[in-house]
Amino acid sequence: MKKGNIFGTHRVIEPKGVLPQPALKIDNTMEIYDNEILINVKTLNIDAASFTQISKQAEGNEEKIKEIMLGIVKERGKHQNPVTGSGGMLIGIVEQIGPTLEGKTDLKVGDKIATLVSLSLTPLFIEEILEVRKDIDQVDIKGKAILFESGIYAKLPDDIPENLALSVLDVAGAPAQTQKLVKKGHTVLILGAAGKSGILCLYEAKKMAGPSGRVICLDYSEKSLENVKKLELADDYIVADATDGVGVYSKVMEITDGKLCDTVIVNVNIQNCEMSAILSTKEGGTVYFFSMATNFTSASLGAEGVYKDVTMMIGNGYCKGHAETALQILRESEKIRKMYTELYA
């Protein structure tokens, strides 16, 4: 059996010398190296920004969505959207474990797992796309994938349905980072707060800011906010277009009496929302760009252009303990679990 690199560089075809994520093409043959795990894939959970772009390109036609996705994997050996650069994650069953990993992993053949690394670096082979669920960005497939030695995963819990767990684990980094960033007494703004990751962030923000803090929920439609209001996770609600930087800034200024926000979390899945977040953050505050639709050049130069000294964080999908943090929200909040079960399970 061939020996592999811990980070999967042995799979890189083009260009040589880079890691699998930035690579243009990787080897997706499903014969494993000595330090890889072979997964029989059941479902792909496509990154929201990626699925939105693919669906728009396909004009909502499911057969065209399938065609685009199959084309991406055929060309790249992985599901990395060439427009957004993002991927998603998967759930499946462990089929084979390389001998080098014996004693290094708690996995065994037959375990159901969710990979916690992006599809944008995961060798993937799709034999057939069985079903597209456009409303929740999920695709059931017949296919296989490779998890590298450095790849992280979560065993699927017995107390949470598979599709529900997958939906939450896909955005686990957001609530976990929110938990780290928000302090007692903070004023927090969540952009795209009515979405899957946004609601989880609202929950953690409310818990960490405490009674002396303030959580502001912003989304683009009144209908979306009405659903979120039932969860009682925010102190203020704003209906606004997150691409309208000055408009959002004006509303946040009004609500906060000109004080703005200590922390702003960006969960939107569309472009051009950088300035809404930056303008809404007070001097010395923090913006966390979880959205993969973020243009980091626009964020950097935009902050400079309005002389804002704020800390801006790239949305790292990994945060220590993030899987358990996200799943625990479903266990703690009956209201969120009920809503997510209706939407995703």
**286-311: per-residue pLDDT in tens?**
999 998 788 989 999 999 999 999 99
Q: What residues does CATH 3.90.180.10 cover in the chain?
A: 173-344
The whole-number pLDDT of residue 242 equals: 94
Low-confidence ranges of the chain (pLDDT < 70): none
328-343 tens-digit pLDDT: 999 999 999 999 998 8
CA distance 46 to 49: 8
The whole-number pLDDT of residue 294 equals: 85
Strands 37-46 vs 124-133: parallel, antiparallel or unpaired: unpaired
4-30 tens-digit pLDDT: 999 999 999 999 999 999 999 999 999
CA-closest candidate to residue 267, choices 132, 152, 175, 155: 175
SS3 call for 283: strand
Contact (Cβ atoms closer than 8 angstroms) between residue 153 and residue 114: yes
Which CA distances in Å does 134 have to 60, 61, 137, 199? 8, 10, 5, 20
Helix (H) or strand (E) holding 167: helix 162-169
The whole-number pLDDT of residue 9 equals: 97
The whole-number pLDDT of residue 293 equals: 80
Helix-helix angle 322-332:162-169, to 10 degrees? 120
For 211, other C-beta atoms within 10 Å of its C-beta total 8
Instruction: Report CA torsion sign: 230, 234, 235, 238.
Output: negative
For 324, other C-beta atoms within 10 Å of its C-beta total 14
The whole-number pLDDT of residue 103 equals: 87
pTM: 0.83
SS3 call for 9: helix
Tell me which amino acid residue 69 is: M
DSSP bridge pairs for 38: 96, 146
The whole-number pLDDT of residue 344 equals: 81
SS3 call for 268: coil
Rg (CA), the chain: 20
The whole-number pLDDT of residue 198 equals: 94
Q: What are the two backbone dihedrals, phi and then psi, of residue 322, each rounded to the nearest 5 degrees?
A: -65, -35
The whole-number pLDDT of residue 102 equals: 87
Q: What is the percent of the chain where pLDDT is above 90?
A: 86
The whole-number pLDDT of residue 270 equals: 84
Helix (H) or strand (E) holding 263: strand 261-266
CA distance 263 to 313: 11
108 token code pair: 């065994």
Which option is the CATH number for 173-344: 3.90.1170.50, 3.90.180.10, 3.20.20.10, 3.40.50.1820? Answer: 3.90.180.10
Instruction: Report CA torsion sign: 325, 330, 331, 336.
Output: positive
For tokens 């902050």, the residue is 303
CA distance 293 to 334: 31
